[in-house]
Structure 1
């Protein structure tokens, strides 16, 4: 799907989180599971000197043999432990226990991107960027490869004084593995080993070392040092650097061969807060039904309340609707777009037709035309068209190019299947799911990955020709591809599955064919059979988009250290662009048509403008608590997220529309009329507050919209700011005619002083 197979991990970089509550568990199961115990510290009896003694006493009351895996102090109050389901149920009944939740598994969801984002001449464009050397980015992932030139520290001064972390020692990782760039590294596996047993140290390092590649890739994308002459097999050659090359990196290894366990993630976030990070980057996530059940959301709330911006990947569930991960409004949710770079591979059919796909193959070329066969006609399996392991009949593919359909197994594994059966080339065709999306891979045989239209043409040629033939010729790196960016087909889309009134994703960033650092432990495909070793790899996914925003947030934090996480996110969102220079909206590669705010949020990140946004939509912890009241969370639910005793006021009307968010998502009602038609009017009012981050100025509002069925009124129409940090509030009233259920429409609201444009998307949904 979006990146090479990570040995036994499923392909999707971000998949689903499977949640099981204690109530739903089978009470007949007697073997132990890991549970996260949320405690209410205010219940601690006076007989205990500290909360750890109290935790241990409560635990020993149900199990004399159980020992705590982790205790948590910053993200929640509580601990994790292995218990039987029966013991967990008993513990849940004790005073002071807020909840007992079963451990769950999350899974893992550049030479060109700095230039593509306008960051090539950093000194001229970003005069404050050197201050990013005081900013620390914590990366929760598969670990880090410290020897890479991307972690060179020669241009950096002493480690920032706020840093309280350490460099943990383990297999193939010493204290000297850290330096002034990679200032800290830790690993967390107690929860993982409790669930899966001891790790196999012949496969994985019991240390912060990255045996997978994903963590090294995300860390170097965010903050890799400048490396001249970087490439993958000569592709994407140039000078590689992260978004914030002077920022510091702290690596927290929480993901292993079987996934990322919530108790380990929570422990890492807890430690990262104590260590002193400024930015948290998490290219992982899952699907949850409630914020108070989401480990990442709970940890992110604690981090945000302490001034730490949390950047997360939106997931790779696109182009289906509503498949988003990490949708809490206190997190920054990042989708993926393309850049203007591609790696062409050319197919010439026997009828003279020339088709273009992509590939990162650099081996022996296929210099002649050979027979072409469709895998579905050369297989003993019903899914033979997908080139699954053992599916191809050698006598039918030997010495031929094989047309394989994309899906189920890794793209690069399909080439190995063809090779093992005797095939000498592969054309990899997209299906309806992927449309014209082209993702390049480091294939083992001459390959061209083509879009749906070209794939159908090849398939038709094979069925209509007595002796179909083809040849494949790999190209090189091609720049200037237009249109760009386009929304990646795999990038997860809205609407927000938990709170539709909060528009997610927040924005998109480069996430297709991204070159960044890689581990020496595995080849560029991540497959066991791949013996090639590289320092840089080209990978795709929202996992790659997330660290772009993490690094850009570090640049803004360096330039404006006093800005809150909400202010930084607002600056990135309100300066993002959703149209090309010709005025057309950013395209969706899945459909070939215009995308919408449900696909790109506020638009594609524009970092230079984000440094001077003019105005921002700021928010603090209290605003998010009011939001939780607005979605009718109980005091117990709120405490699970915030650790605070808070009761929503009965004399106050809470509204989701009052959360000071930089974008708008408006749910409108449809009512059936007497003759089956629809007839009703919805009136929705949102309130927003803007903070002036610049000089005195007068901002005027303007509205652009697609539909006449919604009347939009903004009061006041002009906001006059006389000094920096001054706040002004406005209201937006949406009066909408009824439309058929499922109808969507979009608009934009902009404030401008003639120099700055503060832009917010508006998404309307009739339900």
Structure 2
């Protein structure tokens, strides 16, 4: 980080911050050399002495490279060599920086979610043939973060879901939660396929990605004067209103190249003799969108239109293209192809990019954001929530090009990127603020406050939709889209103790040895505890075809005394009864129990998943829980 010196002294870290004592975002934002990073926030304030802050042990950067042999000598550093860690960590805890922009676009003051936090980074993933993060490094980093006294851990590491006792991230996160540390993680980027969500442990706050109301917009104008809105971040522009010949990539394919390779503008698939001086239309898929542009530019194209297939729908992503380019929706793609096929001399123009604000609808669930159900334990709804994860502008390190395209040497102190990795630190920053306001709240209470105050409507006050424009559901967004201001005052929370989590594991059939792999304590199971008794802020019923299900929950008052009434939104196929319907709280931290009874109503013909919600309200607070019911096959 610029303006900072970091060095060791007597087991402590002394951090020199320049030029003023008001700058308290401390630490080098770093990246694990694959696609993931591990970072934390400490929100405890410290006093300056002779220009230095004395921090408890390490507040800065560490790396863990156990088991990599010669690689450890080559990459014996916590430095960010890719940029992903700098980007994401600045989202969580970056300070206020005026004049932030990328290639002149999106100009304004940028900050992280907890801009006055101290930050620490732990590098745990390294490049190898499998491009994996080794479990010993993940666990070592968790233990180091715990020992460093952090308050929040943000970890955008993911993979195939595993049983909790065999998942290093899950085990490390449990140890952190035992110490009162909130662990926030990304849901994964393999949506919209169902059952793809990762980081599914109930003690982790799992975050999916949604859009924001800001975009970077340009337009494709065809020779027939039709105009289509797209997105891009190219630093190159075409001459104003100068039209160029337009060609489908398939019509520009090189000899002995398959149509499927040419239509996605694969490496070596385009013939320069056919493409030179033209704008090419490439289908999404195969190579990255930026790499398609490099292939097209190398073959002589002056511009590129990236078109969605039907599955991609309206999901368009901003990229730092190496040539004038625009990414357009599936519906617009059809119109562009129809135009190309309707005339002998199709032509087009790609306008320059502008920053667009107040886009509607927003938030929209990102197409790449991994979906539920939870394939390890379906009674725990995942993801828990969504947050901004599309076209996010944040910090980027010096010396690293904006793209991986060959010969692209463009650099910027900021970059726009997309992924659940970007959504995760948004929530981590919010957690840091809630931890400041409510230092005695447990990780589960903070998680509940964020989930039960989430929004399920967009900025048009309509239900949140997905990338196809269809109404989304809790398997895509969990509790909804994060709503930070409301999370400050949730009224009631669903709290969970460490013993509750261990009883949950017992109810899943874990034996003493397996439980010890997660928690070191000798634990005696409560045999009356059922999996459905875990006091989770959402409700997921796995198979209602097997008969009625009773869900036990309890709420803790964290606000003023009040009388809360239950309101239920029930799907046609299900009968939902809440007992009692009224909860009256007379004191802070008072807890009240209730039961939710669910059974088939005998109405409707829907199979599979149906959705509802439970809201406890005192007409000031609205404590909302998503309800997901698997009706069974």
Q: Secondary structure at the match of 1:593?
A: coil
Q: Secondary structure at the match of 2:381?
A: coil
Query: Is 2:249 the counterpart of 1:375?
Result: yes
Q: Is the 8 A contact 1:137 1:277 kept in 2?
A: no
Q: Secondary structure at the match of 2:554?
A: strand
1:409: Cα distance to partner? 1.5
Following the alignment from structure 1 to structure 2, what is the Cα–Cα distance between the partners of residues 387 and 268? 41
Tell me which residue corresponds to 2:265. 387
CA 1:329–1:493: 2 relative to 1, 3 Å: same
Tell me which residue corresponds to 2:193. 320
508, 528, 532: which one pairs with 1:653? 528
Following the alignment from structure 2 to structure 1, what is the Cα–Cα distance between the partners of residues 153 and 388? 18
1:645: Cα distance to partner? 3.4
CA 1:741–1:695: 2 relative to 1, 3 Å: closer
Following the alignment from structure 1 to structure 2, what is the Cα–Cα distance between the partners of residues 219 and 262? 22
1:463-612 correspondence runs (5 A): 463-580=341-458, 583-589=461-467, 591-612=468-489
1:368-767 correspondence runs (5 A): 368-380=242-254, 381-382=257-258, 383-580=261-458, 583-589=461-467, 591-646=468-523, 648=525, 652-670=527-545, 682-705=547-570, 707-737=571-601, 742-767=607-632
Tell me which residue corresponds to 1:142. 32
66, 69, 83: which one pairs with 1:190? 66
Q: Is the 8 A contact 2:46 2:53 kept in 1?
A: no
Q: Is the 8 A contact 1:141 1:282 kept in 2?
A: no
Q: Is the 8 A contact 1:586 1:595 kept in 2?
A: yes
Following the alignment from structure 1 to structure 2, what is the Cα–Cα distance between the partners of residues 137 and 431? 43
Once the two structures are superposed, residues 608-630 of structure 1 have per-residue CA deviations (whole angstroms, 9 ceiling, x without a partner) of: 11111111001111011111112
Give the TM-score of the pair, scaled to structure 1.
0.74
1:143: Cα distance to partner? 8.1
CA 1:132–1:641: 2 relative to 1, 3 Å: farther
The alignment yields a C-alpha RMSD, in angstroms, of 2.6
1:211-360 correspondence runs (5 A): 211-258=81-128, 259=131, 260-360=133-233
Q: Is the 8 A contact 2:98 2:109 kept in 1?
A: yes
Q: Secondary structure at the match of 1:714?
A: strand
Query: Could you list the runs of 5+ residues in structure 1 that have no partner in the other structure?
Result: 1-130, 145-150, 167-182, 671-680
Following the alignment from structure 2 to structure 1, what is the Cα–Cα distance between the partners of residues 460 and 396? 38
Following the alignment from structure 1 to structure 2, what is the Cα–Cα distance between the partners of residues 138 and 569? 27
Q: Is the 8 A contact 2:264 2:285 kept in 1?
A: yes
Aligned pairs, number = 593
1:257: Cα distance to partner? 3.5
Following the alignment from structure 1 to structure 2, what is the Cα–Cα distance between the partners of residues 239 and 606? 21
Following the alignment from structure 1 to structure 2, what is the Cα–Cα distance between the partners of residues 708 and 319? 26
1:666: Cα distance to partner? 1.1
Q: Is the 8 A contact 1:711 1:736 kept in 2?
A: yes
1:648: Cα distance to partner? 3.5
Q: Is the 8 A contact 1:138 1:277 kept in 2?
A: no
1:206: Cα distance to partner? 2.7
Once the two structures are superposed, residues 690-720 of structure 1 have per-residue CA deviations (whole angstroms, 9 ceiling, x without a partner) of: 1110121111111112x22211111111111
Q: Is the 8 A contact 2:27 2:61 kept in 1?
A: no
Q: Is the 8 A contact 2:31 2:84 kept in 1?
A: yes
Q: Secondary structure at the match of 1:538?
A: strand
Q: Secondary structure at the match of 2:183?
A: strand
Following the alignment from structure 1 to structure 2, what is the Cα–Cα distance between the partners of residues 140 and 664? 37
CA 1:143–1:428: 2 relative to 1, 3 Å: closer
Q: Is the 8 A contact 1:312 1:332 kept in 2?
A: yes
Q: Is the 8 A contact 1:386 1:408 kept in 2?
A: yes
1:199: Cα distance to partner? 6.0
CA 1:536–1:163: 2 relative to 1, 3 Å: same
Q: Is the 8 A contact 1:140 1:268 kept in 2?
A: no
Q: Secondary structure at the match of 2:71?
A: coil
Q: Is the 8 A contact 2:83 2:400 kept in 1?
A: yes
* Greater Cα offset, 452-461 or 579-588: 579-588
Tell me which residue corresponds to 1:74. none
Give the TM-score of the pair, scaled to structure 2.
0.89
Q: Secondary structure at the match of 2:377?
A: coil
Q: Secondary structure at the match of 2:548?
A: strand
Once the two structures are superposed, residues 490-538 of structure 1 have per-residue CA deviations (whole angstroms, 9 ceiling, x without a partner) of: 1111111111111111000000110100011321224453201110000
Following the alignment from structure 2 to structure 1, what is the Cα–Cα distance between the partners of residues 72 and 309? 37
1:581: Cα distance to partner? 6.0
Once the two structures are superposed, residues 20-51 of structure 1 have per-residue CA deviations (whole angstroms, 9 ceiling, x without a partner) of: xxxxxxxxxxxxxxxxxxxxxxxxxxxxxxxx
Following the alignment from structure 2 to structure 1, what is the Cα–Cα distance between the partners of residues 123 and 80? 8
1:345: Cα distance to partner? 1.4
Q: Is the 8 A contact 2:31 2:82 kept in 1?
A: no
Following the alignment from structure 1 to structure 2, what is the Cα–Cα distance between the partners of residues 573 and 625? 22
